Structure 1
Amino acid sequence: MSVDLNADLGEGAGHDGELFELISSANIATGFHAGDADTMHAAVSTAKACKVAVGAHPSLFDRENFGREELKVTAEEVFDAVV
């Protein structure tokens, strides 16, 4: 049996480096709830160096609530923000 230990990273919290050594996959923050382009690129580079699988952790325009508030947006706005 194998277990995938996953973490949401790339949010600018400052502890990603240590966590990458413990996990097998990571959801890297994309979009607007946390982090920035430099943080996302650094997280992906670290994941690659640590042989950690990468997925996306998308968010919309809600940095102040960390993406935890319901937003009224169209499907097109979601697509444009995430892709």
Structure 2
Amino acid sequence: MKKFTIDLFVNNRFGVLNRITGLYCKRAYNIESIQAGPTEIPGCTKIEIVSTGDDYMRTQVISQLEKLYDVRKVELLSEMDGE
């Protein structure tokens, strides 16, 4: 299993974080940590999610996140080998 970090830039609207975490929940994927904060762009929030999973899980999560309506951008930041 690998630990990886995904950065999301999302529209700051009601229920966005719920839809993102719901996507993980439906697929029984684990979130190690999650952080959210403002950006320089008005109405845009940056969310950083650290997860653990294999290559298939990582690819699926990124693909599904990109399909969410209020998600502007998805970036894979880093990968580390887990224990």
For this structure pair, what is the TM-score category when the shorter chain's length is used for normalisation?
Answer: 0.3 to 0.5
- Report which of the two structures shows the higher radius of gyration computed on alpha carbons: 1
Larger % of strand: which? 2
Q: TM-score normalized by structure 2?
A: 0.37
The higher-RCO structure (CA 8 Å, 6+ apart) is: 2
